Chains A and B, each alone.
Chain A
Amino acid sequence: MGVCIEFQDVSYAYPLTRKAAVRHLNCQLETGKCYGVIGPNAGGKTTFCNLMRGLCPNFYGGILKGNVLVNGKNLLEWEEEELSVQIGYVFQDPFAQVSGIKETVFEEIGMGMENLGVEAEEMIKRIVEIAKMVHVDTLLQKNPLALSGGQCQRVAFASILALNSDIIVIDEPTSQLDPEASNDVFEIIDLLKKQGKTVIIAEHKVDLLAEYCDEIIAIADGSIIAQGSAREVFADPVLREKGVRIPQVVSLALEMEEAGTPFCRMPITMEETIRMLKEKKEGK
């Protein structure tokens, strides 16, 4: 599979700060994979996401060293509006993402397409399709400002999906949602994966990431400290050293190891753990 985003020794500092937010980032993201970005707060997760989308440095200013390549082309050579179509971005605060100028969810979802000059009939078709996909089809006539957090975040997703970007970057989409709404968000992410999109999610809910992501990138103190499959990364002791949260089932496996009854391999989902524990029991 091709590489869609590549970081070549990237360092970046926000304006008016002495310390770089991220230092010497090197990584390649492949087309069609789902990446989970984890790490402590203020460790560089959001900056990593902002760099891909060009918000650093285009919007925030600051100093960028090294190269960020999006689909093989340097970030700084992309036209800003072209980049916004290439890479969809869903933000943390569900309420800050509604335009505030559209009176129905239907029009809200259509706004991005209006800006791109899509014809009306095509817009209507796509809005209906996407609304069904993210389960907001019953909310079409509602005012976006009157939605609950979970509903609002789904509408935000719909609005970005309407642009049909191949790469979607999502920054802590569930930090302000309840568990049910969080699960909805991950269901949407699963759908995107199935459609062959490249998805990058920064999140604290590592249990969900372990279940849905193909690869995990751990960032702490501005550097990538581990990258690889969920199984590899979560087992890496460097995560615990740097205070990065690991899934509970991994903690359980580590506890079991300490208690002298290790698993044959590192489990990463609850189903897997239960299955392995049952096998163990029967094996006794």
Chain B
Amino acid sequence: MAIEVKNITFSYPNSQVTAVENVSMTIEKGERVAIIGQNGAGKSTTVKIMNNIYKPTKGTVTVDGINTKNKTTAQIAPHVGYVFQNPNDQIFNDDVTKEIDYVLRYWKLSEEEIKRRREEAIDVTGIRPYLEMHPFDIPLPIRKFLTIAVVVAVSPDYVILDEPTAGQDLWGCAQLRTVMDYLQSKGKAVLTISHDMEYVAENFDRIIVMAHKNIIADGKTKEILYRPDILKEAHVKPPLSAQIAQAIGIRTKVLNLKELTAAIS
């Protein structure tokens, strides 16, 4: 079971230049993968193709063996969920629970099933204190957790998070970890686009590096974050702990402050 992307090329309508060129990757169910790289490297375009929002100009995408070519985006949505960067593009109900229920009712699930999924999604995303509020009165960083709750309730096997840590405080980052752990416990794959290297180093086992419309590296987090040549090409800086470790000549590959402290002591 996997999303398989084979040699995809894509250019936006009315545009002469391609946004991604000949990209291939496989995301297995249950994996945690981060895509990193500079803005304009083709990260967002690639994941939008995996979610079938865009159709590749060349190449194929299969989700659990289903070719997405002749499917609509909404038909792929139950398998591949996407949390957009801007929650305001999505929310339209005047009530938090209605918002979460909307797609479930759209799919005509039973009342008990809807309730079970909704309650679970609310608990995992920590938005219970905000149930009484109008969605647009909820502070923006927390509003984002409402859109995450919507995806959690849909329960797709693959979840894509676009810049989830942007604008989040400590509470938000901790809550995000809870969501990711929950998804993993359910055997779901989590794919994220992020600039936040601390978050990537802490939470992801595998990193895909994109630069100039293509994948330039794909491998274990520890390996990739200690490849200065690749990071430089992608205009990415390693996490601070790794930077310090390298500067003071520590040989072990540390990825967080705890490991760094241990290595120094």
Contact = CB atoms under 8 A, between A and B. Distances in A.
B265 interface: yes
B248 A274 contact: yes
Contacts of B171: 40-41, 243
A239 B150 CA distance: 33
Given A148-B39, A207-B240, A41 B168 contact: yes
Given A172-B167, A244-B170, A248-B241, A178 B257 contact: no
Given A180-B38, A270-B244, A175 B166 contact: yes
A277 B244 contact: yes
A180 B235 contact: yes
Interface string A23-50: 0000000000000000111100000000
Nearest to B167: A175
A249 B240 contact: yes
B197 to A, nearest CB: 8
Interface in A254-273: 255-256, 259-261, 270, 273
Given A175-B167, A270-B243, A270-B244, A41 B261 contact: no
Contact of B240 (A172, A255, A259, A270): A270
Interface string A139-150: 000000000111
Contacts of A244: 170
Contacts of B13: none
B206 interface: no
Contacts of B257: 248, 251-252, 255
A277 B166 CA distance: 31
A179 interface: yes
Contacts of A125: none
A41 B38 contact: no
Nearest to A40: B169
Nearest to A278: B248
Contacts of B237: 179
Interface residues on A, range: 20 to 34
A281 interface: yes
B167 A204 contact: yes
B17 interface: no
B198 interface: yes
Contacts of A178: 38-39, 195
A275 to B, nearest CB: 9
A249 B239 CA distance: 12
Nearest to A16: B137
B8 interface: no
Contacts of B169: 39-41, 204, 243, 245
Interface in B226-254: 235-237, 240-241, 243-244, 247-248
A176 interface: yes
B205 to A, nearest CB: 22
Interface string A167-196: 000001001101111000000000000000
A179 B39 CA distance: 10
A150 B39 CA distance: 10
A153 B235 CA distance: 20
A65 to B, nearest CB: 23
Interface string A231-256: 00000000000011100110110011
Contacts of B264: 256, 261, 277
Nearest to A274: B247
The 9 residue pairs across chains A and B that have the minimum distance between CB atoms: A175-B167, A255-B261, A40-B169, A42-B139, A274-B247, A41-B141, A248-B240, A41-B169, A277-B248
